[in-house]
Amino acid sequence: MVRDQELTKLEYLGQRLSSQKPILRDYAFNLNADKIVALDILIESLPEGSKKRRILEKVREILLRQGEALFIQQADPFTQLCIKVGSTLRKVSFKK
């Protein structure tokens, strides 16, 4: 019972953090997260619509997809199976 409550609290905290900083979703379970963060900092420093920014945004997309694929490759078989078959999203709330 206590373990279930702890897991529920962790899920809730994760959902709150993710809703406050949506960009963190790109970094989670991504083996290229460190590179994507560096690119995000560079992209933010460039003017909107500039050629360099567009190129870096493309590189970011490549690293994002590659990092997710690499993570899945290295994940345990159960995690891979869950990803493959999909699941419903459980939304945690403490509202009464």
The reported pLDDT for the residue numbered 71 is: 95
Residue 47 has pLDDT above 90, yes or no: yes
The answer to whether residue 66 sits within a structural domain is yes
* Total structural domains within the chain: 1
Domain carrying residue 54: 2-85
The answer to whether residue 34 sits within a structural domain is yes
Report residue 42 as tokens.
């560079």
The answer to whether residue 91 sits within a structural domain is no
The reported pLDDT for the residue numbered 62 is: 98
Q: Where are the alpha helices (DSSP H) in the chain?
A: 2-20, 24-27, 33-45, 51-74, 77-85
pLDDT in tens, 13-23: 878 887 888 88
DSSP reduced 3-state for 40: helix
The answer to whether residue 93 sits within a structural domain is no
pLDDT in tens, 1-12: 677 788 788 877
Query: How many residues are there in the chain?
Result: 96
Report residue 43 as tokens.
């992209």
